[in-house]
Structures are given as structure tokens and as C-alpha cells.
Amino acid sequence: MKERLEALRSEALDKLQTVADAAALNDLRVHYLGKKGQLTEILRGMGSLSAEERPIIGQVGNEVRAAIEAVIAEKQAGFEQAETARRLQAETIDVTLPGKKSAVGAVHPLNKIVEEIEDIFIGMGYTVAEGPEVETDFFNFEALNLPKNHPARDMQDSFYITDEILLRTQTSPVQIRTMKAMNGQTPVKVICPGKVYRRDDDDATHSFMFHQIEGLVIGPNIRMSDLKGTLLQFVREMYGSQMQIRLRPSFFPFTEPSAEVDVTCAQCGGSGCRMCKHTGWIEILGCGMVHPKVLEYGGYDPKEVTGFAFGMGVERIALLKYGIDDIRHFYANDTKFLSQFAKI
Ligand SMILES: [Zn+2]
């Protein structure tokens, strides 16, 4: 029995020398020292020994157990140390590394343009008015002299929600809302910025959603020359004091007479280039004297007051100001594009 114990010891110690990890070590411990392990198995035969042999074999058994346990404890400590070292290595914090900078946001270029336009007009005594984007047919069309079946309605393909409710196709309904809120009082001097919606296919110059700014002035003796002077002042503050404008006759149902406004091409200074199709002029907005019927819808007597209105696309103003060739850049949320405007 003593020989078997000695053999077990040397076999166990041999195997322990080459054990690879903590799990294998535990397997060996169970195999040799567990309740059903090899050592227990051998010592179970002690009952057949004589009274003199029993304490001797018992002592050898204890020595073998102690020897194996000592090596297991040593190996265990080694594995734990290695694990701690590995973890420390993995979790090391290098306090000398530079910190991660969080990106700082900035005002969107379109909002910047809106703010700039608002500032210019506020400087001329205007106030800012806003209205709902979901609008009634009455405010969006009818009160603007566009009765049902009017052919000009086709110019603005609309998103209808019901027969009478739609996403506004222009900011002009805010004119009517403002007039009604003023209850016949003058002067009215507002600009109305906001989003508008049309069933357009998106391309470099069109989008199903875009931004407009509308202006409206009503009072006694408001004339076309007041409109022209106001727009010239605006264009010079926006693009520079050398700018000129010209008015070309046009048609809008809600103004009479109506005009398209061109501004000196900023690219060539008026001498002609590809951007202005060699005319020296770039179209930037539409305007006119408020149609008498629109004044009536707004609660004013066209015999007593007159007014002018103008409307511009914010995207178009921004394209010209920043020299951008595609309005889709404004909606793509590409921070590389947007960050260019952070410091302008
Ligand atoms: Zn040009």
C-alpha cells in the first residue's frame, strides 16, 4: 500500500508540473484528492491493515495529500498572479493620452440665413410672424385669390390631408392670418419665415420641403417704389452695397401688378458668366402689390389702403450667398458640409 501511495504522489506531482490553466488544475485536484479521488480510493483499503501498519500508512497518506496540496496551492497562486497581471495590462489607463474632444454643434446654414434675413428686416421696423404648417385650403389658396379650379393651383402641387386641409405650399397664408389678427389696423409690417411643402421631385434645385420668407406691408399710400426701395436695401445688406436689382413683370394670383426680382450676379459682378447664363442677373424672389381681393379677404378696404408683398426661397438665397450648387446638401446632415458654416 505504501508503494501505491508513493507511486500516486510521483504521478500527481509529474502531472501538476505541466498543468496549463486553473480549470485543468482543478480537474487534477478532484482526480487525486476529491471524495471519489485516487487517494481516497487507496486509503479505503486501510481497514484490512494490522494495528501496527495503520498509523504508518495513515501518516504516509497524509504526507502524500500534503505534498500534492502544496503543489496545487503554488500553481493556483501562479495562475491568479498571471490573471491579475493580464487584467492590469488590459485595463491600464494612460493618463498622458490626449482626451477625446466632443464635437460642438453649430447653427444650420439655413437657420443662419433666416436669422440674417430677419435681422435685416427687423432693422427696417418689421416684426416676425409665424403660422401653422398644416393649413386650410381657405388660407393657403382661397383667401389668396386662388379659388378652387383656378389654373394657377397647378403651379403648386400640394400634399392634401383632406379635401380642405393640406401642408401649406407657401408662407403666404401667414399674410392672411396676420391681416385678420390686425383687425383692419395699419401699418402691417411683417416677415413670415417657415417650411413649405410641394409634390416636387427632389433635384439640385427642388425639394418636397423647403423654406420661404414672405414679407407683407400694408398702409395708406404704400407704392411700388416703396417695394423696390425695400428690396434694394435688403439685397445690399445681404450681398453687398454694390448690388443692383431689376424688376421684371410677372404674374401671381395674389399680387397685381407682380414682378420677379433679379439681383446682380455675385459671381461675375454683372459682366456675364455661366452661373447667370451670361445675363449678369440672377433671379432671387417674387413680389408685387397686394391684390385688392386679398386685402378684402384680410379685412381691409382696398380703397383706403394698399400694400406690397414679396416671397423668397431661403435655400436659393443661401445657394447664392455661399456658392453652393445643390440644395440637397442642406438636408443630408453631413457634418463635413455643415461644419464649414460653423465659423462664418
Ligand atoms: Zn454671372
Structure confidence by residue, pLDDT tens digits, 69-120 = 888 888 889 889 988 998 888 888 888 888 888 877 888 999 999 999 999 9
Q: Do residue 69 and residue 132 come from a single domain?
A: no
Burial label, 312 (beta-carbon count in 10 A; 0-12, 13-18, 19+): buried
Q: Do residue 72 and residue 157 come from a single domain?
A: no
CA atoms within 13 A on the CB side of 266: 16
User: 247: CA distance to ligand 1 center in Å?
Assistant: 17
User: 283: CA distance to ligand 1 center in Å?
Assistant: 11
User: 299: CA distance to ligand 1 center in Å?
Assistant: 43
- Please tell me the predicted confidence (pLDDT) of residue 148: 85
User: 169: CA distance to ligand 1 center in Å?
Assistant: 30
Residue 194 domain-assigned (yes or no):
yes
- Please tell me the predicted confidence (pLDDT) of residue 61: 84
Q: Do residue 82 and residue 117 come from a single domain?
A: no
User: 239: CA distance to ligand 1 center in Å?
Assistant: 14
Q: Which of 261, 265, 230 is nearest to 120 (CA)?
A: 230
Given 36, 58, 90, the domain boundary residue is: 90
Residue 12 domain-assigned (yes or no):
yes
Residues of the chain predicted below pLDDT 50 = none
Cell numbers describing residue 297? 379677404
> pTM here?
0.68
User: 318: CA distance to ligand 1 center in Å?
Assistant: 16
User: 317: CA distance to ligand 1 center in Å?
Assistant: 15
Residue 285 domain-assigned (yes or no):
yes
Q: Do residue 204 and residue 329 come from a single domain?
A: yes
User: 241: CA distance to ligand 1 center in Å?
Assistant: 17
Residue 141 domain-assigned (yes or no):
yes
User: 248: CA distance to ligand 1 center in Å?
Assistant: 18
Specify whether the CB–CB gap between 142 and 149 falls below 8 A.
Answer: no
Specify whether the CB–CB gap between 155 and 170 falls below 8 A.
Answer: no
Boundaries of domain holding 285: 109-341
Q: Do residue 191 and residue 316 come from a single domain?
A: yes
Residues in the chain: 344
Q: Do residue 141 and residue 13 come from a single domain?
A: no
Q: Do residue 172 and residue 285 come from a single domain?
A: yes
Q: Do residue 187 and residue 281 come from a single domain?
A: yes
Residue 103 domain-assigned (yes or no):
no
Q: Do residue 86 and residue 217 come from a single domain?
A: no
Any idea what the CATH number is for the domain that residue 299 is in? 3.30.930.10
Specify whether the CB–CB gap between 156 and 169 falls below 8 A.
Answer: yes
Specify whether the CB–CB gap between 70 and 32 falls below 8 A.
Answer: no
User: 273: CA distance to ligand 1 center in Å?
Assistant: 4
Specify whether the CB–CB gap between 263 and 286 falls below 8 A.
Answer: no
Residue 100 domain-assigned (yes or no):
no
User: 319: CA distance to ligand 1 center in Å?
Assistant: 14
Q: Do residue 151 and residue 255 come from a single domain?
A: yes
Q: Do residue 68 and residue 118 come from a single domain?
A: no
Question: What are the pLDDT digits (tens) for 319-339?
Answer: 888 888 888 999 988 888 888
Going through the chain in order, the beta strands assigned E by DSSP cover 127-128, 134-136, 165-167, 188-197, 209-219, 245-252, 255-264, 281-290, 306-313
User: 62: CA distance to ligand 1 center in Å?
Assistant: 103
Q: Which residues contact 111 (CB under 8 A, 6 or more apart)?
A: none
Return the number of other C-beta atoms located less than 10 Å from residue 85's C-beta.
10
- Please tell me the predicted confidence (pLDDT) of residue 126: 96
Residue 280 domain-assigned (yes or no):
yes
- Please tell me the predicted confidence (pLDDT) of residue 102: 82
Residue 97 domain-assigned (yes or no):
no
User: 112: CA distance to ligand 1 center in Å?
Assistant: 25
- Please tell me the predicted confidence (pLDDT) of residue 215: 96
User: 234: CA distance to ligand 1 center in Å?
Assistant: 20
Given 61, 90, 119, the domain boundary residue is: 90
- Please tell me the predicted confidence (pLDDT) of residue 156: 65
Q: Do residue 57 and residue 117 come from a single domain?
A: no
If one counts the domains in the chain, the total is 2
User: 154: CA distance to ligand 1 center in Å?
Assistant: 32
Specify whether the CB–CB gap between 315 and 211 falls below 8 A.
Answer: yes
